[in-house]
Every structure is written in structure tokens, then in C-alpha cells.
Amino acid sequence: MKVSKFFTKLVGCLVLWLSGGLADAQINFWQQTNGPFGGTVYAIATKSNGDVFAGTDRGVFRSTDNGESWKNVSTGVSLLGTTDINFIFILPNGDILASTFFGVFRSTDNGNNWTRTGFTTTEVNAFAINRKNGGIFAAVGFAGSGGVYRSTDNGATWTATGLTGPFVFSVAITSGGTIFAGTTSGIFRSTDDGATWTFINTGLPANTSALSFAINDSSGTILAGTSRGAFRSTSNGNNWTSTTVTNVTVYAVAIDSSRRFFAGTSNGVFRSIDDGNSWALINAGLTSPRVYFVAVNSSGHLFAGTDIGVFRSTNIGNNWQEINKGLATFAITALAINNSTGSVFAGTDRINRGVFRSTDNGMSWKAVNTGLISPSISSLFILSNGDILASAFSDRVFRSANNGDSWTETGFREQVNAFAVSNVNGHIFAAVGSSSNNGVFRSTDNGNNWTPTGLTGLSVSALALTTSGTIFAGTPSGVFRSVDNGDTWTINNTGLPSSTNILSFAINNASGTILAGTSFRGIFRSPNNGNNWSPTSVTNVTVYALAINSSGEIFAGTDNGTFRSLDDGNSWAPINTGLTVTTIRTLATNRQGFIFAGTDGGGVFRSVQSTTAVNDRKNAGEVPASFELAPNHPNPFNPSTMIKYDLAQQVEVKLKIFDLMGRHVRTLVNQTQSAGRYAIMWDGRNEQGQAIASGLYIYQLRAGTFTQARRMALVR
């Protein structure tokens, strides 16, 4: 086959690029940033091979490097829509039991997959093994009742023991086979493998909940963690005495190979080196006071499960280090970028996590919650003077004047779901929902004072303003519009299905196109200031967030990943490579063109490359001084890529795609065009509309006498 001179000359360059550049090319659109990580950890278990498992309210996480990093391993762990894990237990054969609030699951492959056990509607709060006969005992508590159950076939089937009725928090067994059960009313004991039980509360305050046990078999000491502190028995439970750990809730107790006791409490971790007689508080480095679980591995390292994640101590608790890389169990509900400082702010849905800040594009994150009260965040907004507004789900709005270092409460006592500012007069508008005063509020003094606008009584989830000052408000009843600074509003639902809940907006001020993200119904588009709406190709998904960058590329965050439009919202393509979480709650772009995605349970992700790097070459408004064909973006790509070019004068333009043999694949442009800047999306299809194979391709621009070609890679 005859090959043109142009392609013959280019093949050598392409071979070098293929052998060196393509192999190392980054094909992912997204990369996970280093946080913010953490979350509520209810249970920890360690295996003999060194693996550590953490039970969270978003499933099971596993670490194979002593807690340095974590991976969610919850495939199959879901019942009634919940993945809350309240206890993890390692069986003698290495199988793992994970208890949810609605049943127990088992993994036979180190957590990679899980299947339901016979406990299908029961909450198991603890397991223990009778080393005399191998029987497994389960502490059951559900809907105000429970008991202790026993399995004699390694957890395959379970039967009730003689203790039924009370809610049982904990169970522990001595080497001699005596079983202790902690309930809401105190402690029970069985010496006949659970057939009969005796109430043994001497020394315990009445109605004391016994939450945890640890047993020193060498001395016979039994330690009980309760709702009123730690209690100790040296008489096989016949009598209990209080310890110096008092006036705290002791969620968990553990003992290491050197017979040191550790207690995880509502005030941190305590340690006893004298069989529970005296205790010392060991909280150095532990930034969360609430410790739900403590565990010791075979190396003697301590792990603490807290309400902000996992901490580890390698020196018997003298110092603690947060080890949450990869462990993210909360939702990122808000993102905001302070372009004057470059800081990225992430708001979470957790009272104990609040706001995080990154000053290095997501390489690291720091919690910045000083002054925040009940800091579960519904929205974040950067004011024109650089101040930050943070709205909490507790109907409070806070302001920071020092880039998040500290916060003060404002007088605005509402839950704000979104803020927006008018380019016309600088007024700030707030979308208020889920409070007593739903609607849109307005501030004319940079957020110091707020008054209701003409839209009241409806919960408002989204706001957007055009450059001319027209305001759009998204509600459960559809779209409302105001053209008089919020004084009056009209409903603009033509083309929208009835009762469409609007969650997000994006406005392309260059074209006037308005996009609306909805609940369960995808994205709708209006080219005429909201007078009419039409559905797009993104359907049957919930669109939590929409964002547009300086190049006019539009991004959508949904419950099925992210989508991008390169043609003003007409067509959309999924962009999920590198994304490990499907629910995207919020989006934000910075001046460098990176786009950030806040996920539900995976922290913050960021685009690998700037999405506006091509456009940063020149000011978008000026007539190009020369002809130029820019590098396509992204490259490599799948399934679509944007091609941009400059025309210095009006000419006949042809933009075509070829394969490496010089065969024509697709003509994208074939017409006369005026001087200016142009962009067109190629969807990886040929002239017949068929998706072409992965490989290297050439795109060539002919503009009058100007000719330029570049290479690109399609990776499917």
C-alpha cells in the first residue's frame, strides 16, 4: 500500500513515542488525593499474618501494611442498604465474621468477598471462642432484646443459650471455659457452656451497662468496661471493684502479651501495667477523645478505632499516629477553592470532621475546625474579600477571615445548601433548606446580615446567577427565576417533568446555556434563559453537582460517576477512569484548570491534568496572531477528546483524522471559518458512526496554506 510522504516522515517519530511515551502515559482522568481520610471506626481485628481489619459505618477496610494504607473490602456486605460494621472477629481457620446492624457476614478469602450467615436480622455486638471445645459465642442485642447464642460448627448455624431477653453488648471466656456476658443491666456468668447463667453484679452500680471485657488468664483478673468506668474482679466475677478509670464510658478493653491492660473510652485511651490496679491516660498524638475499640497485633502494636479514624502506637501507647490513608467513610458535601491563596476546602457530613484544607492541590489535608460548632457542613463559599462562609447542617453559618485557621459564628441561623453572588451589585444569595425558614435569602453587606427574598416556604437546594443578574433557584418543585434581584420569582418548568427536584446548576455565560441537575432524572438544558428545558443524554441519575471551567467544558457529578460535555451540554461522555467511588457529591475547579470531585466515602479526587491547559496559552478574547493546532486534551483519551485550533484570518478549514497508514477515518471540519479560536470534540468514531479500535491516530489541520498535524492515542 502506498503511504503519503507526510505519514512516512511521521512514522519514525511515532515509533519512538509509542515505545517510550505511550507505555508511561497516564490514561486515568482522575487520581485520588491524599484525603481527607478518616471516619468512624467501631471495630478492629488483627490476623496472624499481620493484616488489620477495620469495621466502619461504610463497610470493612483492610490494611496489609500494618495500617499504613487501607482498602475498602466490602463486596457483598450490604443488608437493607446499610454497611455499618459494629464488630469483626477472626475465626481459628482464618475466616472473618463481620457483624452489621442487620446481620452477620463471613469472608473465606481474607475479606475480598462476603456472604450472609444464619444471623440475618440480628445485631451481634461481640464474638468469643471457648478454647476448651471450640464453641463460638455471640453477644446479641436487637430492638431492646437479645441474648447469647452459640455455634458448634464454626459459625455455620447458631442456637440460643440459656441467656435470652437482655440486650448483650459483650462476651468473654476464660481459658477454663467460664463465660461472661455484659448486658444493659450488668454482668452474667455461665460455667456450663451457656446452658445456665447467674447474675453477678456485686460491687457494680445498679443498671450499669457492661460494654467490654478483657481477661488476664495468668492472674485470673477480669476487667469490665462499663458505662460508668472500668471495674475489676479477682474472684471470677463474684465481686467487682471500681478502678481509677471513672466517670467515662469504657467502650473497649484489651490486653497484650505482656499482660498490660488498655481501655478505649470517651476520654481517650488508658493503660494499666499492674493488672488493672492503677491507670494512666495515654493520649499523646491522639486527636480524638472518643475511642470505640482497641486492639493489639502480634508485634505488640496498638490500634485505636475512633470517631475520626484509626490511630496506631508502636510504643505501648506512649505516642499515637493517625493512620487513615485510604480509609474514608464520610461524604464530601462541599468544595470551595480560594484562588487568591490556592487553598482547597472540603466540607464533610460528619459532626466530628467538619472542614479540611489543602494548600498543595490535594497532596495533604488538614482539619480546620477551630470555632466550628457541630461542624457537619452543607456548603462552603469564598467571598470576594477572601473570607469563607461555612454552613452547617445544624442551621448555623460560620465565617473565617484567615483562610480557615479559625471560625466565628454569624447571626445567620439557617442551613444553607448553596451560595451565589451577583456580578451586577455584589449581593450574596443563600439557598436555604431543611430549616424553619426555607427559601432564598439575600445579603447586601458581604454576608453580615441576611433578609428573605420573595421566594419563601420552599426548600432550595441550588442557586445560580447569570452575568446580567438573573437568579435561578432549584427546589423540589422545579426551577424558579428572578430578574429583579430576588424581589419576585416565577416558576420556569416548561419541558421539565412535574415535581422535578433540582439539585444543581451550571451557567455557560459565553453561550447563555443553563444546565440543571436533578434528582433521579439526569441533566436538563435551557438555551433561552430558562424559558424552556430539554433533557440531555445524561438520564436516570441523580446529579448532585455541575461545574464549568474557563474553557467551557462542563462537568457533572452524579450517583453514577462523572460526566463531561465538550459542546455546551449537547452531548456527554462518562469520565470515570481512576475513580473508585461512584457517588460524586460536589465539584470545583481552580485557576490552574484542575477539577476536584468530592465523593461519598472516597475522599477528594482531582483530575490528573489541567482541563484548561490548552486555553491558557493566550487570552481567550484576542484574535490569534498566527495559525496553530493545539495538543488534544485529554491524551490518551477514552472515549472522547477535545481538539482546539487558532485561525489568524478567514480561510477554508479542513480538520481530519487519519490512522497510521494514512487512511482517512473522520472529517471533523470542512468549511470556511472566520478568524478566532475553535474547539471541537471527537468521540472516537469514524464517518459511519462506528467506535474505532484503540491505537495511535493523527489529526491534521489544513487552513488555507497552513498545515499542521499532531498525534493522539485512543485507549479503550
Residue ranges of the domains in the chain? 5-26+614-714, 37-112+307-327, 122-200, 332-607
Q: Are the C-beta atoms of residues 376 and 386 closer than 8 Å to each other? A: no
**pLDDT, position 657:** 95
pLDDT for residue 270 is more than 90: yes
Residue 588 buriedness (CB in 10 A; 0-12 / 13-18 / 19+): buried
Residue-wise pLDDT tens digits, 289-347? 899 999 999 999 999 999 999 999 999 999 999 999 999 888 999 999 998 888 999 99
pLDDT for residue 150 is more than 70: yes
Comparing C-alpha atoms, which of 629, 618, 635 is closest to residue 654?
Answer: 629
**pLDDT, position 711:** 93
Q: What is the mean pLDDT of residues 476-487?
A: 97
**pLDDT, position 16:** 39
pLDDT for residue 19 is more than 70: no
pLDDT for residue 99 is more than 70: yes
**pLDDT, position 612:** 63
Q: Which CATH number fits domain 37-112+307-327: 3.40.50.10490, 2.40.10.500, 1.25.40.10, 3.40.50.20?
A: 2.40.10.500
478: left (phi over 0), alpha (psi -120 to 50) or beta: left
Q: Are the C-beta atoms of residues 585 and 600 closer than 8 Å to each other? A: yes
Residue-wise pLDDT tens digits, 613-671? 544 333 344 578 899 999 988 888 887 888 889 999 989 999 999 998 889 999 988 88
Query: Taking every pair of C-alpha atoms in the chain, what is the biggest distance, in angstroms?
Result: 99
Measured distance CA(642)–CA(637) in Å, rounded: 9
Specify the DSSP element, H or E, that contains 7: helix 5-16
Sheet holding 145-151, edge to edge: 124-129, 136-142, 145-151, 159-165
- Please check whether the two domains, 5-26+614-714 and 122-200, share a CATH topology: no
Measured distance CA(355)–CA(366) in Å, rounded: 8
Cβ-proximal residues to 123 (8 Å cutoff; 6+ apart), any chain: 86, 99, 100, 101, 102, 140, 141, 142, 146
pTM, two decimals, is: 0.79
Strand partners, 524: 516, 535
Q: At the top level of CATH, which class does the domain 5-26+614-714 belong to?
A: mainly beta
Q: What is the mean pLDDT of residues 16-39?
A: 66
Residue 16 buriedness (CB in 10 A; 0-12 / 13-18 / 19+): exposed
Comparing C-alpha atoms, which of 183, 117, 186, 180 is closest to residue 154?
Answer: 117
Percent residues over pLDDT 90 in the chain: 73
How would you label 382-409 residue by residue, b for 16+ Cβ within 10 Å and e otherwise?
bbeeebbbbbbbebbbbbbeebbeebee
**pLDDT, position 4:** 44
Residue-wise pLDDT tens digits, 373-430? 878 999 999 998 999 999 998 899 999 999 999 999 999 999 999 999 999 999 999 9
Measured distance CA(201)–CA(190) in Å, rounded: 14
What are phi and psi for residue 526, nearest 5 degrees?
-130, 125
Measured distance CA(229)–CA(208) in Å, rounded: 10
Cβ-proximal residues to 81 (8 Å cutoff; 6+ apart), any chain: none
Measured distance CA(554)–CA(547) in Å, rounded: 6
Measured distance CA(508)–CA(677) in Å, rounded: 17
The answer, yes or no, to whether the previous bond of 624 is cis (omega within 30 of 0) is no
Fold entry, domain 332-607: Methylamine Dehydrogenase; Chain H (2.130.10)
Q: Are the C-beta atoms of residues 568 and 508 closer than 8 Å to each other? A: yes
Three-state SS for 13?
helix
**Whose grid coordinates read 461522555?**
573
Sign of CA dihedral 445, 451, 455, 456: positive
459 to each of 309, 352, 395, 418, 502, how far by Cα in Å?
A: 33, 26, 13, 11, 10
457 to each of 439, 454, 462, 477, 664, how far by Cα in Å?
A: 6, 10, 15, 12, 60
What is the grid cell recorded at 25? 502515559
Q: Which CATH number fits domain 122-200: 2.40.10.500, 2.60.120.380, 2.60.40.10, 3.40.190.290?
A: 2.40.10.500
* Sequential DSSP letters for 336-348: EEETTTTEEEEEE
pLDDT for residue 435 is more than 80: no
Measured distance CA(667)–CA(686) in Å, rounded: 9
Comparing C-alpha atoms, which of 555, 494, 557, 503 is closest to residue 529?
Answer: 494
Average pLDDT, the chain: 90
Measured distance CA(314)–CA(472) in Å, rounded: 55
Percent residues over pLDDT 70 in the chain: 93
Comparing C-alpha atoms, which of 120, 121, 105 is closest to residue 55?
Answer: 105
